[in-house]
Chains A and B, each alone.
Chain A
Amino acid sequence: MINENRENYRPVARRGSVLYFVIADLALIDPMYQYSLEFFARLFGRRLEKAPKSEDLETRIQTLLGDETASFYTNICRGLFEKDKLLYSFLNAASIQRRGGQISPAEWNFYLRGSTTDFSASKNECDYISSVVNSKLLGLEETHFAFKDLAKSFADPGDAVTWKKILASEEPTSIPLPPAYEGGLSAFQKLMLVRVLREEKLVHGVKAFVGACLGAAFIESPPFDLEGAADDSTNATPVIFVLSPGADPIADLIALAKSRGMDARLKILSLGQGQGQIAERLIDQGQKTGDWVCL
């Protein structure tokens, strides 16, 4: 009985593992993107408790899936640089769909590396696309039946009008595909098509895919949230500002200290030669008196 009930929650656990491995991979991008399993488990557990409850199992599971995914997004994004935020939400969306089977290994590989089959012998029957693009279209046809007759569609005078529009547009992702594909292709398959036809607009495509898969909130970067970080910190959990040239969080920190009545007890020290001992003393003292220490 217990086992049976427990099994019902497996989708939530599966989502957890997908989310965790995306986070673990982030360390490959930047040495500062380090998150421990304990950190992950703590946050995961907290959301299990805090997410809205429901008597209906299916509702409860759907709430949990959405809540866990969203809270990790806001939590991790705080510590990511702007350029990596879209990457993170894309990896989340793609990993969830790959695990769920909506994206096949063949499709994922095509997206990353292109086709491995040699189509140079096949004839390009279309005068407005290059033979390179033609080969890629044939490659797409191989990955999934939804792409069937894609190259032929480019030669078809009716569809060609739409394709030409997509090739020339500033916002190719906002133009509906020819009818056979608009409804037939999944969000990821549409993204694969953008990659083939308009690679330079891929960022728009990625945003559209993430939006379709996880929701629009995942394409916007959450605002700088010092308050939230301060609320999550404890006397044993420090807050680490990861800086970039031109950024200075000290002013924000002082403002925060003021609003919490800590401004007189905020000790700021710039580390440099010979400052180590002073810093240690400040930390020692802070742990006793409850000061804020900023190094």
Chain B
Amino acid sequence: MPELEKIQEKQDENTMHPEYRLWLTSMPSATFPVPVLQNGIKLTNEPPRGLKANLKRTYGDVAEEDYEACSKPREYKKMFFALAYFHAAILERRKYGAIGWNIPYEWMTADLETSKRQLRMYLDEQEMVPYQALNYLVSETNYGGRVTDDKDVVLIKAMLRRCFCPEVMNDAYRLSKLDTYYAPPECSLADTKKYIESLPLDEDPEVFGLHPNANIAYEQRIVRDLTETILMMQPRVAAAGGGKTPDELAQDMARDIAARLPAALDTSRAHPTTFAMTEGGQMGSLGVFVGQEIERFNNLLKVMKHTLD
């Protein structure tokens, strides 16, 4: 990274080839050299949110010949959709915060890829669809490997069981309580994509087996993020509020503190026993200690008085 900064500093646009372009990719990082950042054009590229967008992406990555190559096409296509739905559902469920998952797990496309490959392999090699084995592999090993909370383990298993089950082969079977989402009857890749295209843009919380009220929690979280970020960005001085400018507020505070400053402590007015000498001509330890502290305190008062005036 520091080298990159040097390279960028050294370059001279006149000596460089005019068609030269530098493209950089990076996750958000506090160590990314600031000069490069400030001079560059920043572009974010986020995957679109929502169940539909997620399904679309999964199917967008599928090659036609792979989709048609399984020896049990009907079973494969049905199970494939169930897997894609499961993948999308557990990811999108995270937006509900603690209502969705106790811990927000970072499942990745690699989990989906592995599960896809295993699904294909098991279907090609075995006579029957090994529902039990697939359930175990996907929910306990592939995705479950990341799940650490015991309640979340129960949840992910239950969610997959609803997708990977013999009933899914029945065209009337629904993947959630809603009528909208189901593994479409056996058809071409293009037709499946068409079906996904017909799905609603925003999903009901019921898709995830959650009560509609879960949306309130989600909205509250968004709102909290929004207001807290703005609050964090405000300069601190303005905190006292009212119609005054920050300068006036500071002035008022200074005057208020100055008015409350006590006078310097006068040792001559101390209680006679405080600084009494012992028979050996020395001061008691308490007297020494108090004396030193008073000196410091008086110094502090002096500095405060000076700066506040």
Contacts and interface: CB of A to CB of B under 8 A. Distances in A.
* Top-9 shortest CB links A-B: A79-B42, A290-B17, A290-B19, A36-B38, A238-B22, A294-B23, A236-B13, A246-B47, A109-B241
A45 B234 CA distance: 28
Given A199-B220, A235-B17, A235-B18, A106 B241 contact: yes
Interface string B11-37: 101011111111111111110101011
Contacts of A78: 41-44
Interface in A172-217: 199-203, 206
A119 to B, nearest CB: 16
Given A234-B13, A286-B17, 7 more contacts: A33-B42, A81-B46, A112-B231, A235-B16, A238-B39, A292-B19, A293-B22
B219 interface: yes
Given A106-B241, A289-B17, A292-B21, A87 B46 contact: no
B20 A30 contact: no
Interface string A61-82: 0000000000000000011111
B17 A202 contact: no
A86 B223 CA distance: 11
A200 B220 contact: yes
B41 A224 contact: no
Given A253-B23, A280-B7, A30 B41 contact: no
Contact of B23 (A34, A36, A239, A245): A239
B109 interface: yes
Interface size class on chain B is 35 or more
Contacts of B216: 200
A252 B45 contact: yes
A35 B18 contact: no
A168 interface: no
B106 interface: yes
B223 A226 contact: no
B7 A105 contact: no
Contacts of A230: 21
A250 B25 CA distance: 9
B243 interface: yes
A113 B226 contact: no
B242 interface: yes
A294 B25 contact: yes
Contact of B223 (A34, A113, A199, A252): A199
B210 to A, nearest CB: 16
Given A80-B44, A290-B17, A29 B229 contact: yes
A235 B24 CA distance: 13
A240 interface: yes
Output the residue of B8, B11, B42, B229 with the most chain A CB within 10 A. Answer: B42
B92 to A, nearest CB: 12
A287 B17 contact: yes
Interface size class on chain A is 35 or more
B17 A242 contact: no
Contacts of A249: 25, 43, 45
Interface of A: 25, 28-36, 38-39, 78-84, 86-87, 90-91, 104-106, 109, 112-113, 116, 199-203, 206, 224, 226, 229-230, 232-250, 252-253, 262, 276, 280, 283, 286-295
A253 B25 CA distance: 11
A252 to B, nearest CB: 7
Contacts of B132: none
A201 B219 contact: yes
17 contacts: A34-B38, A81-B44, A87-B226, A112-B227, A201-B219, A233-B21, A237-B39, A238-B22, A240-B26, A240-B41, A242-B44, A244-B28, A250-B25, A289-B17, A290-B18, A293-B22, A295-B22
A232 B32 CA distance: 21
A116 B36 CA distance: 44
A226 B43 contact: yes
B42 A247 contact: no
Interface string B202-239: 00000000000000100110110111011111100011
A30 B226 contact: no
Contacts of A291: 19-20
B229 A87 contact: yes
Contact of B21 (A91, A199, A293): A293
A112 B3 CA distance: 43
B108 interface: yes
Contacts of A36: 38-39
Contacts of B25: 240-241, 243, 249-250, 294-295
Contacts of A34: 34, 37-38
B146 interface: no
A111 to B, nearest CB: 9
A294 B44 CA distance: 16
B255 interface: no
Given A287-B16, A295-B23, A236 B11 contact: yes
Given A233-B21, A236-B16, A31 B32 contact: yes
B40 interface: yes
A237 B41 contact: yes
Interface string B174-192: 0000000000000000000
B11 A83 contact: no
Contacts of A79: 41-44
A293 B23 contact: yes
Nearest to B223: A202
Contact of B24 (A240, A280, A288): A240
